[in-house]
Amino acid sequence: MNNLLLWAVCALPLTIGLITFLIPVDYYKRQLQHLSLLVALAHLLFTLFILFFKPSGDSYLFWSGEGGVLLLLISTLFLMAIIYLKNYFHDQEVATIKQCHAWCFLFLGAMSLTTLAHNIILFWVAIELTTLVSAPLIYTHKSKTSLEATWKYIILCSIGIAFALLGIFFVVMSLALIMPKEELSLTFSNFILYAPKMNRLWLELGLIFVLIGFGTKMGLAPMHSWLPDAHSEAPSPISALLSGALLNCAFLGIYRVYEIVGKSSAGAFGAELLISFGLLSIFFATIFMIRQNDYKRLLAYSSVENMGIIAFGTGIGGIALVGVYIHLIHHSLIKSSLFMTTGNLLKIFKSKEISKSGELATLHQGSFSVLLIGVFALVGGPPFGIFFSKLYIIIGAISQKLWWQTSLFLVMAAIITLTLLSVTFKISFHPLERGGTISADKKLLIWPQLFLLLCSLLLGLYYLLGSI
């Protein structure tokens, strides 16, 4: 009975997504939006049930701590994104809205499947599915540039994920060498069980390919080139989902394989690999953020940086791994909130360029406050969660005596903090040449962003009280 819950939470959005395609185009817009709200709420309800009952699962789907956390995160973000989407799309055609919602449901289903997948091949299938169903979402605006971003996204991520499959085959091979064929089971728990005895060469090879493959999807440098394009061209609530939910799913794949490697004789190799990829990503992101003139791309590169921090922390392990969990949760909450805010900015300034925006503080106070709080939280201002996660990761790095890596990390973090703050001030206060086109719409939403930031704040306070 409980295992049925696991299937239901994935099957519900997938089925409704497929059905939505069949609804006639000129069916009422409002009803479609009610339906999406209903799906999001039902998904959240199922997720809470799963977190409460902790079903043991079978050889295809299972409940795990990290998967459960991600599922709750995905469900919450989806609910907020859907609420924001309703407002964001009020002037769009019904056909566009219908397609966007249908792909969104499929996207939700595919992401839920990744968080619950127990079988390594099923996990791969789910990740590939997330790419395929999110590609049309990037093309929602139907412009030339969004088409280019979609093509890059689907081709690069498909190649990447194909490499991940190769890596998974190598990992399976290293298990197949020590197990009789009849008993070979491809579940993650089985891999963990036999990890210490697995063949080292195949496992190392497997980790490299999985890291390149899922790393492409997660946005690790130097395979990140699709990410800024896709994030800047997708509608803002979709960027929020891509950055907040999808990147985490790809990280889960790397984490699951790394967990196996960590328990084997190749653990040290894996750790070094993750630390290098992490630092490289932070470095690339810093370079591209400093003089960036597109605020959505700026946030996208910030996602690259944060994924780098997550990979870095995972490689360090120990207390840094606690930091990684906190970072994952709070980066999702805060970054999604900021991406939704860029939706407001885009509606106010009608441009994604930083040099063409300014005076937000007088134009729309609501957006100004969520932008300011969001950026403050993102750069690690206390008591938001990212402050604690960065602290844990730095403590972990120092306790491992990774001196130069830690200093590099700190310098990059400082540069990024300054960049983000200066851009925020520019958008908020820089005098604007009035062309008559700029006016703040009364209909701009801020409370979904506020809700996400509040979640981050309350969780941060909870850690604070817990640590005292």
Partner 1 sequence: MSLYDAYIGLLSLILLTCLASLSMQRLRPLIKTVALQGIAVTMTTLLYQQNVHFLLPFIMIIVKGVLIPMLLLYTLKKVSIKSEGKPIVGFHASVLLGILFLFMVIHYSHDKLSKLLADQSFSFSVAVVTIACGLFLMMARRKALTQVVGYLIMDNGIYLMGALFLKNIPFVLEFAILLDLLVAVMVMGIILHKINETFNSIDTTSLATLKDRWHE
Which residues of this chain interact with partner 1, rule CB under 8 A?
119, 121-122, 124-125, 128-129, 132, 135-136, 139, 144-145, 147-152, 154-155, 158-159, 162, 165-166, 169-170, 172-173, 176, 181-182, 184, 186, 201-202, 228-229, 232-233, 288, 291-294, 297, 353-355
Q: Is the CB of 96 or the CB of 276 nearer to partner 1?
A: 96
Q: Is the CB of 34 or the CB of 200 nearer to partner 1?
A: 200
187 DSSP β-pair partners: 119
Taking the alpha carbons at both ends of the chain, their separation in whole angstroms is 41
Quick check: 265 and 200 in contact, CB under 8 A? Answer: yes
Rounded to whole angstroms, the Cα distance separating 171 from 169 reads: 5
Quick check: 399 and 407 in contact, CB under 8 A? Answer: no
Q: Is the CB of 51 or the CB of 121 nearer to partner 1?
A: 121
- Give least dist CB 328 to partner 1, A: 26
Rounded to whole angstroms, the Cα distance separating 373 from 354 reads: 18
- Give least dist CB 366 to partner 1, A: 26
Q: Is the CB of 286 or the CB of 337 nearer to partner 1?
A: 286
- Give least dist CB 374 to partner 1, A: 21
Q: Is the CB of 125 or the CB of 398 nearer to partner 1?
A: 125
- Give least dist CB 117 to partner 1, A: 10
Return the closest-CA partner of residue 195 out of 215, 172, 213.
172
- Give least dist CB 240 to partner 1, A: 20
- Give least dist CB 210 to partner 1, A: 13
Q: Is the CB of 88 or the CB of 170 nearer to partner 1?
A: 170
In 119-143, which positions are buried (b, 16+ CB within 10 angstroms) versus exposed (e)?
bbebbbebbbbbbbbbbbbbbbeee
Return the closest-CA partner of residue 206 out of 154, 126, 273, 113.
273
- Tally of CB atoms within 10 A around 462: 12
DSSP SS3 for 328? helix
Peptide bond before residue 237 is cis, with ω within 30 degrees of 0: no
Quick check: 233 and 141 in contact, CB under 8 A? Answer: yes
- Give least dist CB 433 to partner 1, A: 15
DSSP SS3 for 421? helix
- Give least dist CB 283 to partner 1, A: 15
- Give least dist CB 119 to partner 1, A: 7
The amino acid at 90: H
- Residue 117's φ and ψ, nearest 5 degrees, are -60, 135
Rounded to whole angstroms, the Cα distance separating 249 from 214 reads: 9
- Residue 352's φ and ψ, nearest 5 degrees, are -95, 0
Q: Is the CB of 119 or the CB of 314 nearer to partner 1?
A: 119
Q: Is the CB of 193 or the CB of 398 nearer to partner 1?
A: 193
Rounded to whole angstroms, the Cα distance separating 309 from 396 reads: 12
- Give least dist CB 29 to partner 1, A: 24
- Give least dist CB 107 to partner 1, A: 13
Q: Which residues, other chains included, contact 303 with Cβ-Cβ below 8 Å and sequence gap of 6+? A: 219, 227, 231, 243, 247, 331, 335
Angle ∠(298,299,305) on CA atoms, nearest 5: 95
Q: Is the CB of 225 or the CB of 417 nearer to partner 1?
A: 225
Q: Is the CB of 49 or the CB of 283 nearer to partner 1?
A: 283
Rounded to whole angstroms, the Cα distance separating 350 from 356 reads: 9
Q: Is the CB of 226 or the CB of 409 nearer to partner 1?
A: 226
